[in-house]
Amino acid sequence: MVLIDAALTVLLVLVFARIVLSWFPPGGQFLESAQRFTFVATEWLLGPIRRVLPPLRLGGAALDLSPMVVIIGIYVIRALIA
């Protein structure tokens, strides 16, 4: 159980990091590497959700709801295994 909880915590941190890093344009070697790493580490989970739940259109912008679904799912799984 401790290992599953630790893995879910790491995944949660990676999703939050991807959300924050998506606000910045690619620039600089460190920032670009961090963005690429978080994308690769989380896309396997966010991609399928995004295909089922497309981004919400808000005028000229779009809001990706897949990270929110993953975060809620992680909290539900953690509550079930606790």
Q: What is the rounded CA–CA span in Å between residue 22 and residue 69?
A: 17
Confidence band of 82 (pLDDT split at 50, 70, 90): confident
Q: Tell me if 67 sits within 8 A of 46, measured CB to CB.
A: yes
Reported as a single tens digit per residue, the pLDDT across 3-61 is 999 999 999 999 999 999 999 998 889 899 999 999 999 999 999 999 999 999 988 88
Torsion angles phi and psi, residue 56, rounded to 5: -80, 120
- For the entire predicted model, the pTM comes to 0.90
Closest to 66 (Cα-Cα) out of 19, 28, 10 = 19
CA-CA-CA-CA dihedral for 65, 12, 49, 80, to nearest 10: -110
